[in-house]
Amino acid sequence: MLGFNALVSIALVYGAFLFGVAFAAERRAAGGRDGWLRSPWIYTLSLSIYCTAWTFYGAVGYAARSGLEYLTIYLGPSLVMIGWWWLLRKLVRIGRVQRITSIADLISSRFGKSGLLGVIVTLLAVVGVTPYIALQLQSIAQSLDVFAARGEGGWTAQGGGSAALWSAVGLALFTILFGTRNLDANERHHGIVMAVAVEAVVKLGALIAVGVYVVWGLGGGASEMLARIDASPIAAWEQSGGRWIGFTLLSAGALLCLPRMFQVLVVENADESHLATASWAFPLYLALMSLFVVPIAVMGLEILPEGANPDMFVLTVPLSQGRDGLAVWAFLGGFSSAASMVMVATIALATMMSNHIIVPLWLRSRTGGAMMAGDVRAMVLTARRVSILGVLGLGYLYFRLSGGGTALASIGLVAFVGVVQVLPALIGGLFWRGATRAGAATGLLLGFAVWLWAMFLPSVGDGTAIPAAVMRAGPFGLDFLRPQALFWTGGLDPVLHAALWSLALNVAGFVGVSLASFPGPVERLQGAQFVGVFDHSEGPGSWARGAADAEPLLVMAQRIIGAPEAQAIFANHAALQGKEGRLPDVTPDFIRTLERELAGSVGAATAHAMIGQMTEGVSVSVEDLIAVADETAQIMEYSNRLEQKSAELERTAAALREANAKLTALSVQKDGFLSQISHELRTPMTSIRAFAEILREGGLEGAEQDRFAAIIGDEAGRLTRLLDDLLDLSVLEAGQGLLDLRPTGLGGVIDRALDAALPLRDGLRLRRDPALDGVRIVTDPDRLAQVFINLIANARKYCDAAEPELRIVWNPAAHAVDFIDNGSGIPPDQGRVIFEKFSRLSDAGKAGGAGLGLAICREIMTRLGGGIRYLPGQGCGVFRVELPQVAAPLGIEQPVTG
């Protein structure tokens, strides 16, 4: 007979073997030879952690009590796997694209990287799963007690309790060793996954071995066995439809929401195509796991004494027949189920706790923010290790406190209903853009509260957490709040009752608040990326160009993901941007990439917050918002186009109105111009005609004849000048005529103008600024000289001072030449009109011109790119000729003296 020492030795050897397997897998992966470690078969086997000790031992017990109902726990997940095209495909894609680290991270990331939601889901998971871990420890203790109960080897039932403690210590060690080797949760834990795969084979093999022994060794073949089933106490088919459908849906939801399942399904997924294989291979695994459950249960009921614990039939049936080898195999199978569940669940919970609770708190406690946070990497790893110890410690504590009694038996379903509270937010977040953070938080909290009240607290034990009176009559006598008969629905099965009310209020809160609230920009962005993950997997990022430099970002990244990895990311991105060196430009694209990398280590919310500190706040670019508004993008674009069109039309109409006004004004001007010009032409014509007629009549003296002929000549000359000016003006106004632009000295132009206007320098004293000689400009010197001539001639004509004087001064600030005479200036009311055509100050005779001079000057200066102005209110006549600014090489030179 098998003694205690032998059994413990076998367990220890098995544990050492798992250590070896995990270690070898890590070595292979580190050496890059991880080809078959990433195969779809390993992936499928790692999913087997769904089958915990609760199902390994408990399924037989469940079948012995309730017949075929245990199958619902396996049929639900099978449905989800077969329907992978609906949901899992999307979930896995999102997990990969967004670098999701846990189910809490998924919910937090979907709803705007919300820290609060991460905390809620984490707490829910810890409360829901800790008892489940306790259940695994209990199963190890119980299975050892089965061997102990035979009273051999000198150990007592108390041995089971200490075995649970040592198992917990061993599992913690294993998990810390292989589960926290790397920080990035997206990097697969090859050691753990490999150990889980081996355990999957061991537990399936064990159950099938016991089953085959029961059917063909004890039962006498398949048809004989079916007959025994029909003769057994569970032969009647009395299945309740509500429980059948309810539990199937519940276990289907649990497959998606259990933190450990999310870990292996999504986080540890190396390749989306593995899902295709798992979609049929995992249902096959589940079918095989449950195939022999009923035969074992029936045989146990048949051959074991009344009152034997049906939960341990897998062990006690072979033991009762003296099949110790088989029993040990079954024990190892049960141990494997418990161990793999505990390891993966602990990693998943520890990741959630460190990323969503410990690290954010720690960062907040640091005043300097992410920059001054020191070695974040080491801190996060420590947080994760402490969390692992904490989770396992909590599990062990729960196991001790609950006394390891029968209260734990129902904990599997309790945990299922608890974690399924995440399902509405999960499904809504994946398929409904309208789901908001407020809605998700409301739904989760409502569901969590109802679950605690209606299921979790009552499950701790009758009268322990909730007094028996409250259970019977409700709190404060409110009988519609009785934990197991909410709203007078006491007729329901307790599990269905809790699931129904928690999920119903959860969904109602989630949908109702979502409909009523308005999401923030990051929420909308994440919503668009999650719901439309197949449309834009490489979707737009959420960071506009921030104030961050690449260097502090690199310093921070090194602290989180390690120096070589961070430097590699930066260098790669610099190369992508086509930059030399190792620091890329801080583009939104780069920040998005970096944030995803960080999210793989510390979760989306924390990574977002850290990057946010560095880049000074959250901002969403216009492109992002367009992507967010995918559903309305087309409408928006259409209305934008309409708006553009209407704006264009408005502009056209405005332009037309303006053109019309201009044409009207022009036509008025033309009328004025024509009457003006006919007047101007008529005056000399009249005198020419008069004197010509006098001359034709004859009888004049020679001297008189000469005088009249001279008058005719003068008047004809005036007409010619007028026509010349008009021609000149029309050419200038039409923009015709080429300008002869060239670098010119301003002094030379002035001198030429003086020579032309005052050849004898008489009648006007001149003071010429020597600074003019140093100014060089690019202009048409002939045209400019024409302007100057006009101004000098005007000064000579109009200056009313006793001793007329003209100063020509260079004004460097205005880049202009000022012509300042000492006369009384132009009356203010006329200052504005002097540049108009045919405006003349005093009588025409004195000016001897047609009043076009300044109009021409203005046109010339406009065409040269400068301007001409009369500066009023100076007490004297000041005309300013502004010259166009020119490029530096042609600019102002120092006047050359000497």
Partner 1 sequence: MADPSRPGTRPPVFLARASYRRRRLHDTARLAPLAAAFLWTLPLLWPHGETRVSAVLVYLFGTWGLSVLVSAALARALRRSERDLDTSG
Among 4, 166, 280, 362, binds partner 1 (CB under 8 A): 280
Least distance from partner 1 to the Cβ atom of residue 290, Å: 8
Residues 574 and 589: their CA atoms lie apart, in Å, by 12
CB distance 343 to 174 below 8 Å: yes
Least distance from partner 1 to the Cβ atom of residue 8, Å: 37
CB distance 323 to 303 below 8 Å: no
Among 23, 216, 244, 432, binds partner 1 (CB under 8 A): 244
Least distance from partner 1 to the Cβ atom of residue 522, Å: 31
Least distance from partner 1 to the Cβ atom of residue 228, Å: 9
Q: Other C-beta atoms within 10 Å of 347: how many?
A: 29
Least distance from partner 1 to the Cβ atom of residue 177, Å: 35
- # chain residues binding partner 1, by CB under 8 A: 38
Instruction: Give, in order, the Cα–Cα distances in Å from 331 to each of 59, 313, 726.
Output: 15, 11, 117
Q: Is 277 one of the binding residues for partner 1 (CB under 8 A)?
A: yes
Q: Is 296 helix (H, G, I), strand (E, B) or coil?
A: helix
Residues 756 and 752: their CA atoms lie apart, in Å, by 6
Secondary structure of 479-512 in the HEC alphabet? HHHCCCCHHHCCCCCHHHHHHHHHHHHHHHHHHH
Q: Which is nearer to partner 1, 60 or 550 (CB)?
A: 60
**Between β-strands 816-821 and 878-882, what pairing exists: parallel, antiparallel or unpaired?**
antiparallel
Q: Which is nearer to partner 1, 208 or 677 (CB)?
A: 208
Instruction: Restricting to residues 284-303, name those near partner 1 by CB under 8 A.
Output: 284, 287, 291, 294
Least distance from partner 1 to the Cβ atom of residue 464, Å: 36
The residue range among 272-280, 406-414, 777-785, 786-794 that interacts with partner 1, by the rule CB under 8 A, is 272-280
Q: Is 269 one of the binding residues for partner 1 (CB under 8 A)?
A: no
Q: Which is nearer to partner 1, 10 or 229 (CB)?
A: 229
What are the beta bridge partners of residue 892?
Answer: 775
Q: Which is nearer to partner 1, 281 or 328 (CB)?
A: 281
Among 245, 469, 642, 656, binds partner 1 (CB under 8 A): 245
Least distance from partner 1 to the Cβ atom of residue 70, Å: 11
Among 39, 66, 182, 239, binds partner 1 (CB under 8 A): 239
CB distance 4 to 159 below 8 Å: yes
Q: Other C-beta atoms within 10 Å of 855: how many?
A: 21
Angle at 730 between CA 728 and CA 731, to 5 degrees: 65
Instruction: Restricting to residues 761-800, name those near partner 1 by CB under 8 A.
Output: none
Among 283, 300, 310, 439, binds partner 1 (CB under 8 A): 283
Least distance from partner 1 to the Cβ atom of residue 229, Å: 5
Running DSSP on this structure, what letter comes out for residue 312? G
Residues 464 and 467: their CA atoms lie apart, in Å, by 6
Instruction: Restricting to residues 373-432, name those near partner 1 by CB under 8 A.
Output: none
The residue range among 197-205, 240-248, 414-422, 710-718 that interacts with partner 1, by the rule CB under 8 A, is 240-248
CB distance 98 to 359 below 8 Å: no
> Nearest-CA neighbor of 235 among 75, 63, 74?
63
**Between β-strands 742-745 and 805-811, what pairing exists: parallel, antiparallel or unpaired?**
unpaired
Instruction: Restricting to residues 61-120, name those near partner 1 by CB under 8 A.
Output: 67-68, 71, 75, 78-86
Q: Which is nearer to partner 1, 78 or 109 (CB)?
A: 78
Q: Which is nearer to partner 1, 86 or 487 (CB)?
A: 86
Least distance from partner 1 to the Cβ atom of residue 239, Å: 6
Give residues with Cβ within 8 angstroms of 105, minimum separation 6. Answer: 118, 352, 355, 356, 599, 603, 604, 605
The residue range among 126-134, 237-245, 393-401, 538-546 that interacts with partner 1, by the rule CB under 8 A, is 237-245
Q: Which is nearer to partner 1, 152 or 230 (CB)?
A: 230
Q: Which is nearer to partner 1, 60 or 373 (CB)?
A: 60
Phi-psi region of 878 (alpha: psi -120 to 50; beta: other; left: phi over 0): beta
What are the beta bridge partners of residue 779?
Answer: 742
Least distance from partner 1 to the Cβ atom of residue 319, Å: 26
Q: Which residues of 130-165 are buried (b: 16+ CB within 10 A; e: fewer)?
A: bbbbbbbbbbbbbbbbbbbbeeebebeeebbbebbe
Q: Is 538 one of the binding residues for partner 1 (CB under 8 A)?
A: no
Among 35, 36, 238, 306, binds partner 1 (CB under 8 A): 238
Q: Is 527 helix (H, G, I), strand (E, B) or coil?
A: helix
Q: Is 440 helix (H, G, I), strand (E, B) or coil?
A: helix
Instruction: Restricting to residues 246-265, name those near partner 1 by CB under 8 A.
Output: 248
Among 12, 13, 235, 814, binds partner 1 (CB under 8 A): 235
Least distance from partner 1 to the Cβ atom of residue 64, Å: 13
CB distance 392 to 341 below 8 Å: no
Instruction: Restricting to residues 175-234, name those near partner 1 by CB under 8 A.
Output: 226-227, 229-230, 234
CA 201 vs. chain centroid, Å, equals: 42
Q: Is 587 helix (H, G, I), strand (E, B) or coil?
A: coil
Phi, psi torsion values for 882, nearest 5 degrees? -90, 130
Among 241, 405, 873, 875, binds partner 1 (CB under 8 A): 241
Instruction: Restricting to residues 613-632, name those near partner 1 by CB under 8 A.
Output: none
Q: Which is nearer to partner 1, 75 or 319 (CB)?
A: 75
What residue type is assigned to position 452 of the chain?
L
Q: Which residues bind partner 1 (CB under 8 A)?
A: 67-68, 71, 75, 78-86, 226-227, 229-230, 234-239, 241, 244-245, 248, 273, 276-277, 279-281, 283-284, 287, 291, 294
